[in-house]
A = this chain, B = another copy of it.
């Protein structure tokens, strides 16, 4: 039971302040620091688990996105919904970027990335997405562009209302077959 409470406390505290420490997270969870360290030996372990927890919580919402029909329209819908999640989690994402290597952050997104991957494969089968680059690369490009938008928003160089449009316009163009 205490692990779920600690993870929710970590998500809440890091969503308010990306520099929230283990003591503060323990306080929010109503447990001692020793209890937290018993489950998560380092702050990086706790941040990684909090990110995984937040991604898991977003899963049902993203599962509801209709991915049938034109793969391009489906990808646009998925980008819009995924962006809402990334935007809400920007502070947590900063915390993760501070302590985890980019490839570890990408790995923690394996769940949502798997859904994007299936849609990419269908779009390739239907001839609307390119096949001259690996599907895994295309999924990674979408992830990078989305997190780039989060970084630009954090830096005050992008308005929240523009992000999903920019991401979709960029990713759909990047996915188009070269001759298309």
List residues of chain A with CB under 8 Å of any chain B CB: 94, 97-98, 101-103, 106, 130, 132-133, 136-137, 140-141, 143-145, 147-148, 151-152, 154-155, 157-158, 166, 169-171, 173-176, 178
7 contacting pairs across A/B (C-beta < 8 A): A103-B151, A103-B155, A103-B157, A106-B151, A130-B173, A141-B170, A144-B148
Residues of B within 8 A of A130 (CB): 173
Residues of B within 8 A of A101 (CB): 94, 97-98, 151, 154
A101, A152, A158, A173 pick with most chain B CB within 10 angstroms? A173
Q: Once the chains bind, are B151 and A137 in contact (CB under 8 Å)?
A: no
Q: Once the chains bind, are B148 and A166 in contact (CB under 8 Å)?
A: no
With A141-B145, A148-B140 in contact, is A103–B173 under 8 Å at CB? no
Question: When chains A and B are docked, how far (Å) is the Cα of A42 from the Cα of B130?
Answer: 46
Residues of B within 8 A of A102 (CB): 97, 147-148, 151
Residues of B within 8 A of A151 (CB): 101-103, 106
Residues of B within 8 A of A137 (CB): 152, 158, 166, 170
Q: Once the chains bind, are B140 and A152 in contact (CB under 8 Å)?
A: yes
A149 to chain B, nearest CB (A): 9
